[in-house]
Chains A and B, each alone.
Chain A
Amino acid sequence: MTEPFVSRGFRGRRQPSAVESRLPPGQYETPDFPVLSAGPTPRTTLQTWDFTIRDRNGATARWSWDEFKGLPHETITTDIHCVTKWSKFDTVWEGVSVDTLLAAASVRGVESAPYALAVSDGAYTTNLPLADLTGGKAWVAVKYNSLPLTPEHGGPARLLVPHLYFWKSAKWVRQLRFMERDQPGFWESLGYHNYGDPWREQRYSGD
Chain B
Amino acid sequence: MDSVLVPPRPRTISWQLATVVSTTIETPRARTLVLQVPGWAGHRPGQHLDVRLTSEDGYQTERSYSIASPPEASRIALTVERLDDGEVSPYLTDVLRVGDQLELRGPIGGYFVWHVALGGPVLLVAGGSGIVPLMAMLRHRAIVLETGDARMRHNVPARLLYSARSWDDVFYRNELTQLARDDETFEAAFTLTREHPAGWNGFRRRIDRMMLAEIAWPPAERPQIFVCGSTPLVESVAAELVELGHDPALVKTERFGPTGASA
In angstroms, Cα B55 to Cα A5, docked, is: 9
- Assess the B87–A9 pair: CB atoms within 8 A: no
In angstroms, Cα B59 to Cα A12, docked, is: 8
Measured between beta carbons, the chain A residues less than 8 angstroms from B95 are: 8-10
Measured between beta carbons, the chain B residues less than 8 angstroms from A10 are: 53-55, 91, 95
Looking at the complex, which one of A5, A6, A9, A14 makes contact with B91 (CB distance below 8 Å)?
A: A9
Measured between beta carbons, the chain B residues less than 8 angstroms from A181 are: none
Cβ of A11 < 8 Å from any Cβ of B?
yes
Task: Give the shortest distance, in Å, between A153 (CB) and chain B (any CB).
Answer: 15
- Assess the B59–A14 pair: CB atoms within 8 A: yes
Cβ of B103 < 8 Å from any Cβ of A?
yes
The closest CB in chain B to the CB of A28 belongs to B59
- Assess the A13–B54 pair: CB atoms within 8 A: no
- Assess the A7–B17 pair: CB atoms within 8 A: no
Measured between beta carbons, the chain B residues less than 8 angstroms from A11 are: 55
- Assess the A6–B56 pair: CB atoms within 8 A: yes
Which bucket holds chain A's interface residue count?
A: 10 to 19
Task: Give the shortest distance, in Å, between B23 (CB) and chain A (any CB).
Answer: 14
Task: Give the shortest distance, in Å, between A115 (CB) and chain B (any CB).
Answer: 35
- Assess the B103–A7 pair: CB atoms within 8 A: yes
In angstroms, Cα B96 to Cα A8, docked, is: 8
- Assess the B103–A12 pair: CB atoms within 8 A: no
- Assess the B54–A6 pair: CB atoms within 8 A: yes
- Assess the A7–B59 pair: CB atoms within 8 A: no
Looking at the complex, which one of A5, A9, A12, A13 makes contact with B17 (CB distance below 8 Å)?
A: A5
Measured between beta carbons, the chain A residues less than 8 angstroms from B100 are: 8
From 98 to 153 in chain B, residues with beta carbon under 8 angstroms from any chain A beta carbon are: 100-103
Cβ of B24 < 8 Å from any Cβ of A?
no
Measured between beta carbons, the chain A residues less than 8 angstroms from B55 are: 6-7, 10-12
- Assess the B101–A5 pair: CB atoms within 8 A: yes
In angstroms, Cα B59 to Cα A13, docked, is: 10
Cβ of B236 < 8 Å from any Cβ of A?
no
Given A6-B55, A7-B54, A7-B91, the answer on whether A12 and B101 have CB atoms closer than 8 Å is no
In angstroms, Cα B58 to Cα A7, docked, is: 10
Interface string of B29-68 (1 = CB under 8 A from A): 0000000000000000000000001111011010000000
A-B contact pairs, 29 of them (CB 8 A): A4-B54, A4-B58, A5-B17, A5-B101, A5-B103, A6-B54, A6-B56, A7-B53, A7-B54, A7-B55, A7-B91, A7-B101, A7-B102, A7-B103, A8-B100, A8-B101, A9-B95, A9-B96, A10-B53, A10-B54, A10-B55, A10-B91, A12-B53, A12-B55, A12-B59, A12-B61, A12-B87, A13-B87, A14-B59
Q: A9-B96, A12-B53 are in contact. List 6 more A-B contacts (CB 8 A).
A: A5-B54, A7-B102, A7-B103, A10-B55, A12-B59, A13-B87
Task: Give chain A's interface residues, CB within 8 Å of chain B.
Answer: 4-14
Task: Give chain B's interface residues, CB within 8 Å of chain A.
Answer: 17, 53-56, 58-59, 61, 87, 91, 95-96, 100-103
Question: Which 4 pairs across A and B sit closest by C-beta, in order of nearness?
Answer: A7-B53, A13-B87, A9-B95, A10-B53
